[in-house]
Structure 1
Amino acid sequence: MSKLIYTCARQLMQRLYHRNVLDQSLIPVNKNFAFSFFKMFPFSKHAKSMLSTPSSLVGKENIVLLGAPGAGKTTVAVCVGQITGLPVIDIDKVLEKTWHMSVAQKLHEVGDELFLQEEGETLQRFSTTRSVISLTGSNPMHPRSMYQVKKNGIVVYLDVPFEDILERLEGMKVDRIVGLRPGVSMQEMLQYREQFYHQWYDVRVLCQSGDTAEAVAEKVLDGVKRYQDSKSEIFISTRSIAKDSEFMRAPSFFSDVVIEGLALDGGLYVPTDRLPELTAGEWQRLVEAPYTERAQVLLEKCIHPDDVPAVKLREMVERAYGHNFSCNKIAPVRHLTGNQFLLELFHGPTASFKDFALQMLPQLFAYCMPRTCNYLILVATSGDTGSAVLDGFCRLSDTDKQRISVLTFFPEEGINQIQKAQMISYKGENIKAVGVKSNFDFCQTTIKQIFTNPDYTGFLTVEYGTALSAANSINWARLLPQVVYHASAYLDLINQGVITFGDPVDVCIPTGNFGNILAAVYAKCMGIPIRKFICASNQNNALTDFIRTGKYDLRHRNVTISLSPALDILKSSNVERYLHLVAHGDGQLVRELFSQLEKQYHFQVPNALLKKIQHNFVSDWCSEEECLAAIYSVHRATGYILDTHTAVAKVVADRQHDRTCPVVIASTAHPCKSAAAVLWALRVKDISQQPIDQLQMLNSLNSLPSVHKAVLESLGKLHTQKGQVCPADPSAIMENIERFIQQKFMSVV
């Protein structure tokens, strides 16, 4: 079968989304599917333009305002009506006309339960089109009527601070709402009702204290416009050239990039527009919010509801950052010394920062994937990613696990015993970890080459009904959740009284594949005032030289195995995304630079671009001896134990930070992940070679952070077992992939 047919088959299966298939048939009914056909077949230019023309959403002609009593729904509805010319309907008035009495009288007369029933029945009988509707505060508590409302309108949630609502209700002398009982405060009742508001909205407007009704109305209309115009939020490859984007390649949406991982031209997906920037007032709204709510708000801003509706996104966030994190703050900020603060990113199930993305990504993937084929997630890992991917995909439903499998490749001698033991301890029909007799760069490069080999990927699709995808930080959905914890750290410093909003901070991040530090750059794009990004490397310091000189030179370099294996990377994939960002989307330049890197193993950025990089970035590296010394000195001074990656960042922060503002050091792994090296640094004698014994020795020191129970439990269950090892040969890796698919998925021929 020809290369073209293989490629088309792969694209076809990747883009046939289950939620857009009508009556289980294969009739294309959504824009994503239609655009995938345009990629493959020469439809007329007129036909393409008809699909790309924005149009109103059929059956969603009302603008419906939802929110707590006192949220200002009626007042804002009037403003929206004045701007749009649409009629305004206040459901309170509809109820009073139906009942021939005031709402307050009705509630007093019949009580809460009967009131909700009659209110809901009245709303169910009500019908209108092309109107602005102001719901009552209790309408969302009646599900049958809300289904009817949602079917005929775009539901907008006016999310107003509790303090403002309570003040308004007091001013209106409202002391009784549905559900309020003796012993329950008004604020407690409003908090209880939030769950019903979260269940129904399509668009959320984050209102601020002091907002005028006119300002909120403008936000409502901006939100409705965004909701209707999903084609405005598209993604392109970092290597896209203007003529390719316009004539040869169709737009990719968030659902596409989650599934595809790597762009077909070898580049990385990025949004065509910058990430949305929150106002100071919107950030202030999140200062006292829990981590899950911060994540919800920021991800809603970055993921179009046409791809993942808010209610589904909330379910995913709650599952991702619920009981599987050992700290209720999820990503707490701890003072270390002076103006240095640690962002603890190791409280997830596998004790590394990778959990933040990889508890979320599998759920996004399972929701977005088409139902027409199976998927194999290919992962190259320098250690922590492997166990985090395996854990995340193990938590999917049994149904999803039947159609999604994970195959992880790691450098056999390039990770420590605990990382390896943790990976091979995961057992399941749909997951597997394979060691490779090489370094991480070989694993990552080979996986990227496989993704851009249409003959091989097309063969897997046609022969086994299986498409490939990625869970490394080359996947945009891996990177996006990481933006949240950098923003959250800044908000926590405000909450702790260290800074006020607008004060600058620096961040120092131990950096391997450049994804974590790039997520901090994106947090700045969204409005977090980060001043400097301090890039910390170990002796594999290609990034340090690049930031200092503008030359990315891999010639005459070999990866050196270190005590901080996540940094043992020379070819950092996400540098490509950063250059695309700082070069203002110059895909031609990015393509030329990375083509040169792939062919000649080096490139030099233009001087103007280097100045922009150095305006934001500072870089340095530390030796193994300095890393170990930092672990010892910090523990002796504070009683706190750093892992080997965080210690690298600590050394670099000490040297490069000017101490004029706080610096947040990303603590990317629990010290138990590098227990042997940590015990060595702390000058513990007679260190056992067994991972479980090393963790117990570390725990016996009674220092902070406390033992990571999930890792301890997983290693405690580990019996002596030997993982599979593969030679450093791309064809051998491809054979492993096909063999695993054969074992997991039935051949379709």
Structure 2
Amino acid sequence: MPRLIYASVRHLMHRLFHRQVCHQSLIPLNRKVALTFRKTFLFSKYAKSMLSTMLSTPESLVGEKNIVLLGAPGAGKTTVAVLIGQITGLPVIDINEILEKTWHMSVAQKLQEVGEELFLQEEGEVVQKLSTVRGVISLTGSNPMHLASMNHVKKNGIIVYLDVSLEDILERLEGMNIDHIVGLRPGVSMQDIFQYRQQFYHQWYHVRVLCQAGDTAETIAVKVLDGIKRYQDSKSGIFVSTRSVNNDSEFMQNPSFFTDVVIEDLALDGGLFVPADPLPELTAGEWQRLVETSYTERAQILLEKFIHPNDVPAINLREMVMKAYGQNFSCNKIAPVRHLSGSQFLLELFYGPTASFMDFALQMLPQLFAYCMPRTCNYLILVVTSGDTGCAVLDGFLRLSDADKQRIAILAFFPEERMSQVQKAQMISYKAENVKFVGVKSNFDFCQMIVKQIFTNSDYTGFLTVEYGTALYTANSTNWACLLPKVVYHASSYLDLINQGVITFGDPIDVCIPTGNFDNILAAVYAKYMGIPIRKFICASNQDATLTDFIRTGKYDLRHGNVTAFSPTLDVLKASNIERYLHLVSQGDGLLMTKLFSQLKEQYYFQVPNLLLERIQHDFMSDWCSEGECLDAIYSVYRSTGYILDPDTAMAKLVADRQHDGTCPVVVVSTAHPCKSAAAVLQALKAKEISQRPIDQLQMLNSLNSIPSIHNAVLERIGKAHTQDYQVCPADPSDIMDIIERFIYQKFMCIA
């Protein structure tokens, strides 16, 4: 059904409900009321006729499938099933009624008679005998605990999870007879049962409906149909290039889906992939639902909004989220928010295994890649890093299964003279047969440019595929799947401020982010589009002020070259994700993107139109600071608070001091642990003698007993660094291509 018609159906539904049910539209979600409602609520002939016309037929929505509602006792499954049956004309099957007819007794009596274990078995056997298609099935709260019956239901059903908060569940059950809930006995609370059953609910659903406080049955029914429509829509979840034009014939004939984008990274026209549909948006009530949840649950829910369930089913996505964030971070809050001083708060993004914000993307991306990876060839992952990315890529991909690693090799290029000693030592400490490091005698932008050229060189990539059965892949921030996980921590920081009592939902905050490739700050922009009330984005740069000048003037100018600084992670002259941002604020103007970035490639600068500049400056502020100012900020904060900032975060703190007006909280994003730039930090703290050995620098930082404490994973890894060598090559594209080919041959073609 076309989106426009479906929206009309939703509007008509609301009008019909309010007209016929009037004040009773706030239907309590419990079974007793649902059964009464089933008997009394009828659409007029005219209303049914119109809805039937707009919905076409039930087959157009579900085909030969059932709509299956899953959720905790009190979630409102029966009530919502009745409404969906009325809207669609599909028959409604209440499993509780089926059970009672089959057993000739109430569910409560059966449970008391046979006990819990046998009850679950017999309940499952009844469900396994169902042969309905094109119906609306309301499961019991305990059905998901029976494996065989759920496999049977899933075969012919689209399972929708009504995700209702525990507080709402308990409130609804208060006025209901709950003597037939499996597991409820003295000493066991409904909260215990709810938490135990979550694992089963999460195992089965295709579509999650996030229910908020105050949702009526009508609202939830609409959400269910919306979710099913998205699940069934073959054109939902499509991606386009930032340089494509609306109705591009090639795009329409060969659409790219999430699984394609994860593997392909860059579009064939040189642009970056972005969703064709608007970014998903949560309501205030839905955000409130996430305030009390864990980081992993927030990540699961938000990533589900972005990733179509036919690309990555929810159960597989959950496994990836738990592998990425379940045990790999040294802080159980994953991305905690800490008050620094005044209105400034730090979002600490350095508790991952490599002590950098890139861990959030690169613990998740390898999981997605391994899931989406075609089984027909091997993959060489090309990494371009100026500091943190290389370590994070290596750590993430080396955590994959042995079977996956057999078909994956990693080749990391980095500017030989533009990495901190700790970062370089940390990266080359990773020892594996499928890993190689190459220092290039140039800067980050040269490395990134060459790799981009290689990916768009179809003759070269085609040769590697045909000759060696190997495809190239990049895990840099140009990959959409590398950007998505960063949206989560920006949203999470706002929710944590609510949880700490600093703000209530709807209060604005500002964010200040040290910015190199523009990916981190773009992720914050996406969080705002999803409904997080961020007022201003403050872009903090080092003395290479290209981004600051761009935000202030609209001119993006690469002709002056970049300046080497002690914060090499920001030594990025060409910020790739600028293109995604401009595509967003220009409302998808692919022609403009092609014009601007072609000019950038040919003339090394462009100027955005005035209207676009006004939109940029409405949301953005920017500033930069010198190396000396940054060192002073590290020292000043340490003296006043005992907290040690890394250079990038110190730069952002200083820019926030200058740009933020203090009328709302500002979240300063701390992108790396101070140990990553140990020499610069020790210099800032006025240490008298600084060893050239990274391990000694870390030991010296550790002796300060400051906040944050030393990152043990980095300390342990640096101790291994001296055992690993790396290759150095000139800044010559042909040399780099030769290195790539030789490494592929050694890894995938040589027989021991």
Q: TM-score, normalised by structure 1?
A: 0.91
Q: Which residue of 1 aligns with 2:678?
A: 675
Q: Which residue of 1 aligns with 2:38?
A: none
Cα distance in 2 for residues equivalent to 1:59 and 1:387:
48
Q: CA deviation at 1:718?
A: 2.9
Q: Which residue of 1 aligns with 2:448?
A: 444
Q: Which residue of 1 aligns with 2:666?
A: 663
Q: Which has the larger displacement, 633-642 or 242-251? A: 242-251
Q: Is the 8 A contact 2:61 2:229 kept in 1?
A: no
Secondary structure of the 1:171 match is: coil
Cα distance in 2 for residues equivalent to 1:727 and 1:383:
19
Cα distance in 2 for residues equivalent to 1:248 and 1:211:
37
Q: Please, which of 172, 177, 185 is the counterpart of residue 168 of structure 1? A: 172
Secondary structure of the 1:546 match is: helix
Q: CA deviation at 1:431?
A: 2.0
Q: Please, which of 232, 237, 257 is the counterpart of residue 236 of structure 2? A: 232
Q: Please, which of 453, 459, 469 is the counterpart of residue 455 of structure 1? A: 459
Q: In structure 1, what residue type is equivalent to 2:525?
A: V
Q: CA deviation at 1:122?
A: 1.1
Tell me whether 1:559 sits opposite 2:541 in the alignment.
no
Deviations 1:50-78, CA, capped at 9 Å, x for gaps: xxxx9958875100000011111000000
Query: Do the aligned partners of residues 400 and 329 (structure 1) sit closer, same or farther apart at CA in structure 2, a change above 3 Å counting?
Result: same
Q: Is the 8 A contact 1:582 1:609 kept in 2?
A: yes
Cα distance in 2 for residues equivalent to 1:737 and 1:246:
31
Secondary structure of the 2:160 match is: strand
Q: In structure 1, what residue type is equivalent to 2:192?
A: E
Tell me whether 1:643 sits opposite 2:646 in the alignment.
yes
Q: Is the 8 A contact 2:429 2:723 kept in 1?
A: no
Q: Please, which of 70, 73, 80 is the counterpart of residue 69 of structure 1? A: 73
Deviations 1:517-569, CA, capped at 9 Å, x for gaps: 000000001000101000000011110111100011111x2222211111111
Q: CA deviation at 1:242?
A: 3.6
Q: In structure 1, what residue type is equivalent to 2:396?
A: G
Query: Do the aligned partners of residues 247 and 423 (structure 1) sit closer, same or farther apart at CA in structure 2, a change above 3 Å counting?
Result: closer
Q: Which has the larger displacement, 144-153 or 715-724? A: 715-724
Q: Please, which of 129, 135, 140 is the counterpart of residue 136 of structure 1? A: 140
Cα distance in 2 for residues equivalent to 1:57 and 1:76:
17
Tell me whether 1:126 sits opposite 2:127 in the alignment.
no
Q: In structure 1, what residue type is equivalent to 2:637?
A: V
Secondary structure of the 1:745 match is: helix
Q: Which has the larger displacement, 559-568 or 711-720? A: 711-720
Q: Which has the larger displacement, 156-165 or 56-65? A: 56-65
Structure 1 segment 428-577 matched on structure 2, within 5 A: 428-555=432-559, 557-577=560-580
Q: CA deviation at 1:374?
A: 1.1
Q: Is the 8 A contact 1:169 1:175 kept in 2?
A: no
Deviations 1:236-295, CA, capped at 9 Å, x for gaps: 111113464457862110000000011111110011122110000000000010000000
Q: Please, which of 717, 720, 737 is the counterpart of residue 717 of structure 1? A: 720
Q: Is the 8 A contact 1:237 1:270 kept in 2?
A: yes
Cα distance in 2 for residues equivalent to 1:335 and 1:116:
49
Cα distance in 2 for residues equivalent to 1:223 and 1:242:
25
Q: Please, which of 619, 622, 626 is the counterpart of residue 622 of structure 2? A: 619
Q: Is the 8 A contact 1:73 1:158 kept in 2?
A: yes
Q: Please, which of 718, 726, 729 is the counterpart of residue 726 of structure 1? A: 729
Tell me whether 1:590 sits opposite 2:604 in the alignment.
no
Deviations 1:571-629, CA, capped at 9 Å, x for gaps: 11000100100110001000010000000101111111101100010010000000000
Q: In structure 2, what residue type is equivalent to 1:711?
A: V
Q: Is the 8 A contact 1:409 1:443 kept in 2?
A: yes
Cα distance in 2 for residues equivalent to 1:623 and 1:412:
23
Secondary structure of the 1:70 match is: coil
Q: Is the 8 A contact 2:239 2:273 kept in 1?
A: yes
Cα distance in 1 for residues equivalent to 2:724 and 2:520:
33
Cα distance in 2 for residues equivalent to 1:362 and 1:478:
9
Secondary structure of the 1:325 match is: coil
Q: Is the 8 A contact 1:535 1:544 kept in 2?
A: yes
Structure 2: gaps spanning 5 or more residues: 1-57
Q: CA deviation at 1:428?
A: 1.0
Q: Which has the larger displacement, 606-615 or 182-191? A: 182-191
Tell me whether 1:276 sits opposite 2:284 in the alignment.
no
Q: Which residue of 1 aligns with 2:300?
A: 296
Cα distance in 2 for residues equivalent to 1:665 and 1:157:
36
Cα distance in 2 for residues equivalent to 1:430 and 1:159:
43
Cα distance in 2 for residues equivalent to 1:604 and 1:251:
31
Q: Which residue of 1 aligns with 2:371?
A: 367
Q: In structure 2, what residue type is equivalent to 1:419?
A: Q
Q: In structure 2, what residue type is equivalent to 1:718?
A: A
Q: In structure 1, what residue type is equivalent to 2:186?
A: P
Cα distance in 2 for residues equivalent to 1:92 and 1:426:
57
Structure 1 segment 107-118 matched on structure 2, within 5 A: 107-118=111-122
Q: CA deviation at 1:433?
A: 1.9
Q: In structure 2, what residue type is equivalent to 1:612?
A: R
Structure 1 segment 134-213 matched on structure 2, within 5 A: 134-175=138-179, 177-213=181-217
State how many pairs are aligned: 694
Tell me whether 1:604 sits opposite 2:607 in the alignment.
yes
Tell me whether 1:698 sits opposite 2:694 in the alignment.
no
Cα distance in 2 for residues equivalent to 1:87 and 1:135:
14
Q: Please, which of 653, 658, 681 is the counterpart of residue 656 of structure 2? A: 653
Q: CA deviation at 1:726?
A: 1.4
Cα distance in 1 for residues equivalent to 2:175 and 2:260:
49
Q: Is the 8 A contact 2:362 2:392 kept in 1?
A: yes
Query: Do the aligned partners of residues 55 and 456 (structure 1) sit closer, same or farther apart at CA in structure 2, a change above 3 Å counting?
Result: farther
Secondary structure of the 1:231 match is: coil
Deviations 1:682-722, CA, capped at 9 Å, x for gaps: 11121111111111110110110011111011112333443
Structure 1: gaps spanning 5 or more residues: 1-53
Tell me whether 1:425 sits opposite 2:397 in the alignment.
no
Q: In structure 1, what residue type is equivalent to 2:101?
A: K
Q: In structure 1, what residue type is equivalent to 2:631?
A: L
Secondary structure of the 1:535 match is: strand
Cα distance in 2 for residues equivalent to 1:438 and 1:176:
71
Q: Which residue of 1 aligns with 2:692?
A: 689
Q: Please, which of 300, 311, 316 is the counterpart of residue 315 of structure 2? A: 311
Secondary structure of the 2:208 match is: strand
Q: Is the 8 A contact 2:111 2:180 kept in 1?
A: no
Q: Is the 8 A contact 1:64 1:155 kept in 2?
A: yes
Q: Which has the larger displacement, 629-638 or 237-246? A: 237-246
Cα distance in 2 for residues equivalent to 1:136 and 1:530:
41
Q: CA deviation at 1:434?
A: 1.2
Q: Is the 8 A contact 1:56 1:228 kept in 2?
A: no
Secondary structure of the 1:313 match is: helix
Q: In structure 2, what residue type is equivalent to 1:440?
A: F
Structure 1 segment 209-228 matched on structure 2, within 5 A: 209-228=213-232
Q: In structure 2, what residue type is equivalent to 1:630?
A: A
Following superposition, which runs of at least 4 residues in structure 1 exceed 6 angstroms of deviation?
Answer: none
Secondary structure of the 1:78 match is: helix
Q: In structure 1, what residue type is equivalent to 2:121?
A: Q
Q: TM-score, normalised by structure 2?
A: 0.91
Secondary structure of the 2:339 match is: strand
Tell me whether 1:738 sits opposite 2:751 in the alignment.
no
Q: Which has the larger displacement, 672-681 or 236-245? A: 236-245
Q: Is the 8 A contact 2:546 2:558 kept in 1?
A: yes
Q: CA deviation at 1:401?
A: 0.6
Deviations 1:311-336, CA, capped at 9 Å, x for gaps: 00000000100111000000000000
Query: Do the aligned partners of residues 55 and 569 (structure 1) sit closer, same or farther apart at CA in structure 2, a change above 3 Å counting?
Result: farther
Deviations 1:396-445, CA, capped at 9 Å, x for gaps: 00011111222111101010111001111011122222111100000111
Query: Do the aligned partners of residues 247 and 200 (structure 1) sit closer, same or farther apart at CA in structure 2, a change above 3 Å counting?
Result: closer
Q: Which residue of 2 aligns with 1:12?
A: none
